[in-house]
Each structure stands twice: as C-alpha cells, then as structure tokens.
Amino acid sequence: MAKYLGKDISRVDGAAKVTGAAKYAAEFQVKNPAHGFLVMSTVAKGRITAIDTKEAEKQTGVIRVFTHLNAPKLAFASAKAKDRVAPPDGQPFHALTGDKIYFSNQPIALVVAETYEAARYAARLVTVSYSEEKPVTSIKNSGAKKYVARSADPPAVAEQKSRPRGDASRAFQAAPIKFEAEYTIPIEHQNPIEPQASIAFWQDGKLIIFDKTQAVMSLRNYLAAAFGIAEADVLVISPFVGGAFGMSLRPNQTPALAAMAARELNRPVKLALTRQQMFTTSGYRPDTWQKVSLGADNKGKLSAIIHENITNTSAYEDYSENTVSVARMTYACPNVSLDYKVAVTDLPTPSPMRAPGAVSKMFALECALDELAYQLKIDPIELRLINYAETDPDSGKPWSSKELREAYRQAAARFGWSKRSPEPRSMRDGRLLVGWGMATAIWGAFQMPSSIRIHVRADGSALAQASASDMGPGTYTVITMIVAEHLGMPIERVKFELGRSDFPPAPHQGGSWTTASVGAAAVGAAKAIQKKLVELANRQANSPFKNATAEQLQFENGKVFLKTNPAQTLSYAEILRGSNLPEIVETYEAKPSPEREKYATATHGAQFAEVKVDPDLGTVRVTRVVEATACGKVMNLKTSHSQEMGGAVWGIGMALTEATEVDHRYGRIINPNLASYHVPVNADVFRIETDFVEEEDKIVNELGVKGMGEVGMIGIPAAIANAVFHATGKRIRDLPITPDKLL
C-alpha cells in the first residue's frame, strides 16, 4: 500500500508561497544592482532610421542606453540550437541586434539606471525615427486562399504528423452524410501573474542569472553559446515561477539583455518587463483558422476527416503547433488528412500556450462532431462511442491504457446527461436558457530523459535535486512524495530542490511530462540508494540481511527490515553511522522505456459543461463543469484536482472571454493589460467537479504516470460552445463567445 502516492498531500512549498518566503526572479537581492527598462517600437514594420538617446543619457541616475548601434554583438546564431528543444524554422528575434522592425512594441533600446524609476522615465525620452511600411497582421476574414503562407508544405515539425491516412477527399466526396464548417480562435496570451524578469551578474568570467524560466538547462546552454563561454560557467537560478503556461519555454528577451548589460557595466543588472511589454516579448497562442470536413454514413460512422489549419507566424520564424497530431488519434476513421499552413504576419512569433495545438484542434473537431450529431440526430456521446478508437488509428498500435469509455460513462452519470433533452432551447431555468454540452479531450503521455540526485544523510534526512522547473502545478510536492515513497522515508524528512542549472539535468517543464520524467528518475535513484544501504549494512558484522534477496527486504519509515521479521530493523541513519559516512549520494538518469514504442500512449478526458444564457443580454455563464480524466496513476490527488480545475477555468476563458485585439491598421495590440484582456475571475467560475478514472499502465513507466494538467482544458472550449448551441440554437464558431455574437 502506498503511503503517500495517490493521496491528498498539501503543497510542500505552500507556506513559503503564501508567506512571501518563496523568491521569484525579480525579488532576489544582489549588491548594487542597476535597473533596466526597455524602449519599445511604436511602429510594426520598417527600419529605425535614427535613434536619439542624448536626452535620456543626460538624466540623473542614467548609466547607459543600449541600442542596436552600441550593444555588443552576441553569438546568437550559435545559441539558436539551444533555444528550447525544437526552435521553429527561421532566425529568432533578438533585441538590439539590428535596425529592422518586425512588430509593434518591439524592444529597441535598453536604458540602464541607478533606479527603476529613473530608467523608466529616461526610456520615455528616447526618440526614434522610422522608415515605415504597411504591416499585415490579420489572417481573419481574408479567405483561406489569400493567406500568405510561406510555403505550400506544412512546416517541418508538423509535416510528419500531417501524413494523410487513407484518401480523405475521395471518402468525403463519397460519404452520404457530409458536414463542413470553419472555426476561428483569436490570439490569446498566457498572462501569468509573475512578469518576465532577470537579474544577471558576472563573477570571475562566470554568469549568474536569476530568471523566470520553464527551461533551466536550455536557458543555461543558450546563454553559454550567446556569450561564448562554457556551459558550466553559466548558473541559472529559478526556484519559483509564478505561472508561465508556455511563455517561458524559450529564452525570453530579458536574460541575454540583462547579462549583456551586466557584463558591459560590470555590475548586476535587473530587468523586469511590464505587463504591456510581455504581450510582444514572450509569445502567444496564434491566430487560428480551421476548417473541418466530416464524412459519415447514416449511422454516424466516420469515413473522412479533413482538417485544415492556418495559424499566424512572424516574419522571421515559422512557428507551428506540432501537437496537432493528437486529434488524429481520437477517432477510428480510416481516411484523415491534416493540412497545416502558416501565414506570415508582422507580429512576434507565437509560442506554446497551455495545451498548445491540441485545445485549438479539439475545439474545431469536437464542435464539428457535435454539429454532425445534430445532423444525424444521434446523441453526442453515442456518436463518439460509434467512432471509439480501440487502437491508435494512426499507427495501429494498441494503447498502453485507455479508459476513455469509462470516463464518458462516469462523467455523464455525474453530470446527469441522461436527463438532457436534445432539442436546442428546450431547457430553461426561469428566464435563462440552459445548455448542456460535452467534448472529448486527448493529450499525449510524454516522458523525457531526466536525472535526479538523492542524498540520504546520517541525521535521517534526504535531499533530492534536479534542474526541473515548477511553474505552479506542484512539482516540488509530487517529486518529494515520490522520493519519500520510493526511499521508504517519512515525507517530512525529505526535501526536493529544483530550478538550478548546477543540479542534475531535467527536462523543461512542458507537455505535462515533468512528473513522469523526473518521477521515473526519482524511483531509479531511490532504488540505487536502497541497494547501497543494504551493501553498507552487510559490511557490518551483525547485519541481519546477509543472505537476504532484494525481494525479502522492506524499506519503510527510514528503516530496512526483513519482511519476515519486521521487528528487527536497521535505520538508514544507523547504517550510515555504522559505516562512518555522513551521507550517501546517488544520481540516476531515467529514459523512456523502449517498451513504449510498441504501444500508443495518450491521456483522455470526458468533459461536460452546463451554461445558462440570458436571452435578452446574450451573456453566458458556465454554471457547471464536470470532468473525468484517464491519465494513468494520479500521484497527488489534491494538486491534480487543482490542475483539472485550472483546466476548466482556462477553458472558460478561451470559450467566453479571452482575445488579444490587434488594430490591423497599425499592427498594434490594443488590449495589452489585464483590464481589457479578460481572463475569467471568481465571478465567472461556478461549480467544477473533477474526477479521475484510474488506469493501471505498466507500459509507460514504473510509476504508471501518464501525465496530467493540459488534458484538463482540452475539451472545455468545445464543450462550452456545444452547450451554448444547445441553450440557444446558435452555433458560434468564432471564439470567444461574447454577447454580441449571441444577440
């Protein structure tokens, strides 16, 4: 019986977070810091013809103003490969490296001063002239054919995922039942509460940097390449991240700029961004147009899915959402084609944002399926069961585990789906229209190579370290639990540290893979520690375990004993003291098991929403969300429920409120703030019920962890849009579903 795993465990870092003891990037105290503030472009396309910094430099406290004219040239070309795991095709944008303007609100100068206020004031005094060109920032309402796609082929990363299955256009033509529709999703921004920030200083040729990052190791390697120094000569420190959701996967603009200025000025430099600056410096969910064509027979069996997708990218990189493939794995349809194009716009490069690609794809696919269900007069769940993928329809491989059918059943029962009357506008609560909708969620079950180091000490404590990141899902807690469980130690005596590049390498936090990846390493390291403890014990004359096999031993509560004789124990501390050792240390690297290759792996969810719509005002409230998630073993029920709730809230925002508005005349974002970019607030969130359908999965890894987090939001926007149709009879295919669209 597990002592900790699968239980409700409160966050081990909770007290530090609520008391302010947890330090975020901009909060570290360094001696004599100088403060930076960025100057941003006011035009979206063109060149800087002149930049006048004299007035700014004259101000009290201003130390230096860096522009493309005087900033040292860093080796960014060689840093590119280190820019996250798979940077998009093209050349990343690096501030202050040239006179070209690629987007409005682009960083063009860095003012460094004795105080933040002095830097910010002086930044306003920098005057810039441009030769201006007309920007193109819209892919909407211009017709698919007119989109300026860089090439007719899908971008490299999407290419492999977009191989057609069967002959979708022929099957579509031949299908007795056809459905076709277009869906659009606006640009959305991650908007974490913690702004992007870095504090950098140099010590004996080494760079030390506090930064907000989801990718400690790739940031280290990137900075080392940019500054032409050894990777070991960069120390990235990032113990806490106040939300990121994809915006801190790639190196942001601040670390290289802060490090450059710190080197030039020979003192620590702190550079933090404003909310407004974050809208054009760290990516966003791209502007997305999709067309879904479904072919089916009269009984609802799908024969063709044609899914076309265009997302915007920047003028300098081809960003594509390579996770779109999950949608291909959802239904057993023999003929599927996926077409992906990027449209070049004069905006910064998009980035992954919570459930990237998948939530967008599934919004279109799951709405289309709902529309097909109405066309066929089949219950939406029934239609999904008719097309249930018993094996992975793409590879033909069996699933390592898949309890989606049970998830549909449980969520439907909890939601009360059987009481739904299918006709639109048929359910009411007083004068409000009531709508019930559902959708499927699917995400991968990823694992990345990861290491961890564990120290077990003679004082009866343990310390584990990995260069992982915790942007909020509860990585500190879950890895502490796994280490305690698998070492056989009380959780209070175990500490897990992360967020430093001098810890053993761990993957960046993304894709919902951290628990599986770092957790697998923790299991391996714990086993190695236990083996060593027994070896040490057996070197002592009175060892009770001399002839014991591994299976005969048990490790619990910091003690080892024979299963047949639990009364005679040796504590880890006793073993270490008996061996005259202050501690033992093991580092372990876990890699995804080759066994996984024989299987298809994915996580699934059945997601239901209830909406109440005011027929006079067109306002939509999501009064209830019910989710059942099948994601292997759940390690920490409490934080996992929180992740699911967070997913539901993200879904409410995507469905109803979130949109980054661009004034296409000037190519400028006009709502770069939390006052006019609307994320759901408490008043928008009612009842959320989340549950897990446990899967025993021995294939994915020893822990049986498939990962969760992102899967919790993937079906929600579609479920809400479907519920809105059920409530109102109006099909809104253009997110967000704002009152004007319903009236």
Give residues in contact with ligand MOS (CB under 6 A). Answer: 214, 245-246, 249, 352-354, 356, 510-511
Tokens representing residue 454 in the block: 């564990």
Q: Tell me if 210 sits within 8 A of 25, measured CB to CB.
A: yes
d(CA 579, CA 536): 7
d(CA 738, CA 149): 30
d(CA 126, CA 41): 11
Amino acid at 595: E
d(CA 625, CA 605): 12
Who contacts 58 (Cβ-Cβ below 8 Å, separation ≥6)?
Answer: none
In sequence order, which ranges of 389-548 are alpha helices (DSSP H)?
A: 404-415, 475-487, 514-538
Closer Cβ to ligand MOS, 697 or 710, answer by number: 710
Q: Tell me if 235 sits within 8 A of 206, measured CB to CB.
A: yes
Closest CA to 42 of 87, 92, 107: 107
Closer Cβ to ligand MOS, 353 or 483, answer by number: 353
CA angle centred on 548, ends 545 and 553, rounded to 5°: 80
Q: Which helix (H) or strand (E) element contains residue 612?
A: strand 603-613
Closer Cβ to ligand MOS, 56 or 249, answer by number: 249
Tokens representing residue 437 in the block: 């909708």
Query: Nearest distance from residue 218's CB to ligand MOS, in Å?
Result: 13
Query: Nearest distance from residue 653's CB to ligand MOS, in Å?
Result: 15
Query: Nearest distance from residue 710's CB to ligand MOS, in Å?
Result: 6
Closer Cβ to ligand MOS, 449 or 618, answer by number: 449
Query: Nearest distance from residue 618's CB to ligand MOS, in Å?
Result: 31
Question: Which one is catalytic: 194, 485, 644, 710?
Answer: 710
Closer Cβ to ligand MOS, 356 or 592, answer by number: 356
Closer Cβ to ligand MOS, 33 or 357, answer by number: 357
d(CA 100, CA 49): 9
DSSP of 513-524, one letter per residue? -HHHHHHHHHHH
Who contacts 547 (Cβ-Cβ below 8 Å, separation ≥6)?
Answer: none
Crossing angle of the two packed helices 253-265 and 216-227, in degrees rounded to 10: 40
DSSP of 131-170, one letter per residue? EE-------TTS-GGGS-BS-SSPPHHHHGGG--BS-HHH
Residue nearest to ligand MOS (CB): 246
Query: Nearest distance from residue 295's CB to ligand MOS, in Å?
Result: 32
Query: Nearest distance from residue 281's CB to ligand MOS, in Å?
Result: 16
Closer Cβ to ligand MOS, 336 or 353, answer by number: 353
Query: Nearest distance from residue 214's CB to ligand MOS, in Å?
Result: 6
Closer Cβ to ligand MOS, 269 or 711, answer by number: 711
Amino acid at 59: Q
Give bridge partners of residue 29 from the DSSP assignment. none
Count CA within 13 A, CB hemisphere, residue 134.
2
Query: Nearest distance from residue 240's CB to ligand MOS, in Å?
Result: 16
Query: Nearest distance from residue 356's CB to ligand MOS, in Å?
Result: 5
Q: Tell me if 494 sits within 8 A of 461, measured CB to CB.
A: yes
Who contacts 65 (Cβ-Cβ below 8 Å, separation ≥6)?
Answer: 53, 56, 57, 109, 110, 111, 112, 122, 126
Question: Helix or strand or coil: residue 483?
Answer: helix
d(CA 318, CA 125): 35
Cα separations (Å) of 183 from 361, 437, 478?
10, 17, 38
Amino acid at 419: K
Closer Cβ to ligand MOS, 94 or 354, answer by number: 354
Query: Nearest distance from residue 248's CB to ligand MOS, in Å?
Result: 8
Kindly report the number of other CB atoms within 10 A of residue 128's CB atom.
19
Query: Nearest distance from residue 713's CB to ligand MOS, in Å?
Result: 11
Amino acid at 17: K
Closer Cβ to ligand MOS, 86 or 617, answer by number: 86
Q: Order across the sheet with 428-429: list the strands.
A: 428-429, 432-443, 603-613, 620-630, 685-692
- Quick one: DSSP state of residue 14? H
Closer Cβ to ligand MOS, 410 or 467, answer by number: 467
Closer Cβ to ligand MOS, 511 or 736, answer by number: 511
DSSP of 387-422, one letter per residue? TB-SS-TTT-PPBS---HHHHHHHHHHHHTGGG---
Query: Nearest distance from residue 243's CB to ligand MOS, in Å?
Result: 10
For this structure, is 382 an active site residue? no
Catalytic residues: 710
